[in-house]
Amino acid sequence: MKTDMNNSLTGRVALVTGASREIGAAMAEALAKRGCSLLVAHYREPGLADATVSRIRAAGGTALSHEADSSQVAENQALVDRAVREFGRLDIFVANAGLTMWAPFLDYPGHLANCSLKVGDRALSPRSGTMSRRSGCLAAKP
């Protein structure tokens, strides 16, 4: 895998939620291109996650996929635990997962809006304990 030494992340381990498609997949592939080993987190999209992993591996990178519901604290903890178990560490946690629901604004159910916010909040909340025993970098998609 080609890397620019000025941007090298060789030896680092990254976990990207929502990495089965779109921005999440692009972030996972960009991190791998810079030398990170990746845990590609997805929810109910194993085929798309496997495709992301395959693209990373085809380019010479290291990646695994893991299914998790990012709105659940225990599942976020399991993601972190898997990264540490498989790669020995976790340096970067990208909280990219989100929910997409199409409805006219005035018809959008309030409980679904709350659920959308919960996905990112649960991944990075200090109260969740997700990163409490690890050091590293956190990133959240606004």
pLDDT tens digit sequence for 112-123 = 555 555 555 555
Lowest mean pLDDT among 37-41, 82-86, 97-101, 110-114: 110-114
Q: Count how many domains the chain has.
A: 1
Identify the pLDDT of residue 126: 45
Phi first, then psi, for residue 24 (nearest 5°) are -60, -45
Q: Is the pLDDT of residue 97 over 80?
A: yes
Specify which residues 64 forms β-bridges with: 39
Q: Where are the alpha helices (DSSP H) in the chain?
A: 22-33, 46-58, 73-87, 110-124
Tell me the chain's radius of gyration from C-alpha atoms.
15
- CATH number, domain containing residue 85: 3.40.50.720
Lowest mean pLDDT among 61-65, 108-112, 134-138: 134-138
Q: What's the predicted TM-score (pTM) here?
A: 0.75
Residues with Cβ within 8 Å of 106's Cβ and at least 6 positions away in sequence, in order, are none
Phi first, then psi, for residue 14 (nearest 5°) are -125, 145
Structural domain boundaries, residue 58 = 5-140
pLDDT tens digit sequence for 56-91 = 999 999 999 999 998 888 898 999 999 999 999 999
